[in-house]
A = this chain, B = another copy of it.
């Protein structure tokens, strides 16, 4: 836009092609996963993911900020989603012992039931939509690739 603007380093034809395939495939994959889960359970993907993380902890409890960090979601979003889950009786919130600012989110027995019913459905969906469509080799490449991206981007978050 200005005299000093540099020429843009556009993507090559092949890069662009691959990038677009990812764009479309990714969109369709998420659509499919969300539809699969929501049509057969009462959980959205983000609700499901919260319950899964809780289920992996001692006492099925985590702090709000831990949830936010692990799920790469904003604190605000976690607050809203957890509030809805709490209204439905799937989790309860309580103060953290040590830190007066902290809030602990604990899964209730009802929450566990709902999760246990949803889990097989979601896993089957992930298989059908992704894992069974690509090779284990490819899945491994995918995992390593995105682990690198995540590291890179979350590093940048804490740059200040």
- A contacts, CB < 8 Å to B: 1, 5, 8-11, 14-15, 17-29, 31-32, 49, 70-73, 117, 119-120, 123-124, 126-127, 129-131, 133-134, 136, 138-150, 152-154, 156
- The answer on a CB contact under 8 Å between A21 and B153 is no
- The answer on a CB contact under 8 Å between B150 and A15 is no
Closest to A157 in B: B28
Residues in B with CB closer than 8 Å to A8 are 119-120, 123-124
Residues in B with CB closer than 8 Å to A9 are 123-124, 127
- The answer on a CB contact under 8 Å between B153 and A117 is no
Q: Chain B's nearest CB lies how many Å from the CB of A13? A: 12
